[in-house]
Amino acid sequence: AQSVTQLGSHVSVSEGALVLLRCNYSSSVPPYLFWYVQYPNQGLQLLLKYTSAATLVKGINGFEAEFKKSETSFHLTKPSAHMSDAAEYFCAVSEPGGSEKLVFGKGTKLTVNP
Amino acid sequence: EAGVVQSPRYKIIEKKQPVAFWCNPISGHNTLYWYLQNLGQGPELLIRYENEEAVDDSQLPKDRFSAERLKGVDSTLKIQPAELGDSAVYLCASTKGQAGGVDEQFFGPGTRLTVL
């Protein structure tokens, strides 16, 4: 069965600082991996996805993530945080050729301090 | 292009009452999902439709929950009777239905249910 672990339910950074949100996955087959962002009282929006092409994936709003098979990780980074990045971030996994079911982590709430 | 539409956005009911949520997916999206999101948790799949067929309802508590997607477009999720533990956000998502788990799921804003 697939699963996702997001380390740190809350992360706080200063504006302009590096953002690092951690995600580790478990999957019996090479997975597809996703990062979604959720702003208050809104639905989830896709930031980026890994589908077995390049291991470094660039997404919207300056975010990127690197797939590391040896570490079973897919951490999300952004070089310089902006106040508008404050939101909740979810990592998710699905199986290629499978049911298209997304299995989400518990989420990490990012706070950006001025 | 309009996004996924859900209504109502908020609902407060007494326990044991019935409640229904409505979802209108993006036009042309054949696959529709209902997710449950508890406070402080990630979304969990309740049911997935391919057109009008429910192809994965293994996580749907069928004693009190039901869903339908007549004509393969709009969908309704119902709870009867509601329990205190049903308080959560119910999210609807849709995709074009490209095979293989690659397709981006587009999410609606959700319905926040409070059961008193």
Note the pLDDT tens digit of each residue in B18-32. 999 999 999 999 999
Q: Residues in chain B whose beta carbon is closer than 8 A to a beta carbon of chain A?
A: 3-4, 31, 40-45, 48, 55-56, 91, 93, 95, 99-105, 107-110
Select the residue from B9, B92, B107 to test the A interface by mutation, using most A Cβ atoms within 10 A. Answer: B107
Q: pLDDT of B75-100, one tens digit each? A: 999 999 999 999 999 999 999 876 55
Q: Which of B60, B39, B48, B98 lies closest to A102, judged by CA?
A: B48
Q: Residues in chain A whose beta carbon is closer than 8 A to a beta carbon of chain B?
A: 4, 9, 32, 36, 41-46, 49, 51, 90, 92, 94-102, 104-107
Local confidence band at A98 (pLDDT 50, 70, 90 cut-offs):
low
